Amino acid sequence: MATQLGVLCVSGTQERIQMAAMVAATAAATGTGVTVFLSMNALGYFIRGDTRTPPAEGEIGRLMAQKNVPPFRQLFEQAKELGGARLYACSMALDVLGVEPDRLEAYIDGPMGLTAFLSEAADGQIVVF
């Protein structure tokens, strides 16, 4: 499936990671080709066994858990399972963190460089969170 939407997720805050996951899952479920690139402060939340909740920026972030909003990890996994989204970890950020690709969550397709992501997403739209 050709990438029609590139989701660049770099923030480590609850609201931004959540919105990236919601956009990816919704687009994938409606047949849009989605490639997600996880980097910078977002990447640490996708290392196998990480159960941290990102810090909230404001009221919505704090209320999401109370209102049973589906968590971002579940939404990213659904985007892949239901809509064929592809999820990649930034190879540079993995190096900076000292994380080997085999430590990523199973639903992450592996490492990718920024140049490759931009090339893959070049004919579509890129959104940044």
Taking Cα atoms as reference points, which of 102, 81, 125 lies closest to residue 73? 81
Beta-carbon count within 10 A of 58 CB = 10
With tokens 């290392």, the residue in question is 47
Kind and range of the H or E element at 106? none
What domain range is 80 assigned to? Answer: 5-128
Q: Which residues of the chain have pLDDT under 70?
A: 1
- Summarize pLDDT for 24-59 with one digit per residue, the tens: 999 999 999 999 999 999 999 999 999 999 999 999
Residue in the block written with tokens 């404001």: 58
What is the per-residue pLDDT for 3?
81
Q: What is the Cβ-side half-sphere exposure of residue 110, based on CA atoms within 13 angstroms?
A: 2
pLDDT value, residue 22: 97
How many domains does one find in the chain? 1
Q: What is the pTM of this model?
A: 0.95
Q: What is the CATH number of the domain that holds 85?
A: 3.40.1260.10
Backbone angles phi, psi at 100, to 5 degrees: -80, 145
